[in-house]
């Protein structure tokens, strides 16, 4: 499989770097000419995946979070990984509101949010070795977006 472009990003598992990751991936994804909504979806999913690495993967210790992003035609494929403690039961972890950190605000919705904003989400994890979340999203091409706007304006008589 040949990709049109790709990038790799590594950073220390500090909460301050979550925004850096989100903005970096958004800048990379902008090559596909996404709508503002599509870009917001990607940024939100990246934020959730990176936050999971920092809070759950590394817990209170420092490690490296890696992002590998690829573009193919009108799709972005993201791999976000850590070498943290891993997930014992992925199916349970993906259940809405399940959390190992009930004291934290917004806990238990990370995977649910990723799945709702991306077209595909796959989670691989080995206890003691880390976790990799692979997500993808197809970006509507410019013609499809223009057609949607035209259709909307016909419906609203604008």
| Selected catalytic residue, list 106, 144, 150, 151 | 106
Q: What are phi and psi of 86, to 5 degrees?
A: 80, 175
| Selected catalytic residue, list 18, 48, 70, 79 | 48
- Give the residue from 52, 60, 117 showing the smallest Cα distance to 87: 52
The pairing of strands 75-82 and 130-138 is antiparallel
Structure letter (DSSP) for residue 121: E
CA angle 134, 39, 107 (to 5 degrees): 60
Cα–Cα distance between 123 and 80 in angstroms, integer?
Answer: 10
Whether 106 sits among the annotated catalytic residues: the reply is yes
Burial of 33 (0-12, 13-18, 19+ CB in 10 A): middle
| Selected catalytic residue, list 38, 52, 70, 79 | 52
Catalytic positions are 48, 52, 106
């Amino acid at each position: 499989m040949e990709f049109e472009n790709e990038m790799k990003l590594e950073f220390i598992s500090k909460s301050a770097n979550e925004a850096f990751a989100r903005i970096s991936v958004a800048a990379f994804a902008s090559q596909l000419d996404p709508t503002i909504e599509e870009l917001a979806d990607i940024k939100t999913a990246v934020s959730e995946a990176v936050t999971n690495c920092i809070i759950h993967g590394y817990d209170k210790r420092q490690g490296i979070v890696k992002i590998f992003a690829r573009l193919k035609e009108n799709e972005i494929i993201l791999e976000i990984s850590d070498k943290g403690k891993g997930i014992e039961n992925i199916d349970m972890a993906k259940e809405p509101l399940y959390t190992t950190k009930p004291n934290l605000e917004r806990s238990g919705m990370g995977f649910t949010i990723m799945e709702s904003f991306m077209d595909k989400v796959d989670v691989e994890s080995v206890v003691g070795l880390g976790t990799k979340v692979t997500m993808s999203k197809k970006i509507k091409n410019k013609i499809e977006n223009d057609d949607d706007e035209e259709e909307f304006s016909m419906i609203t008589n604008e």
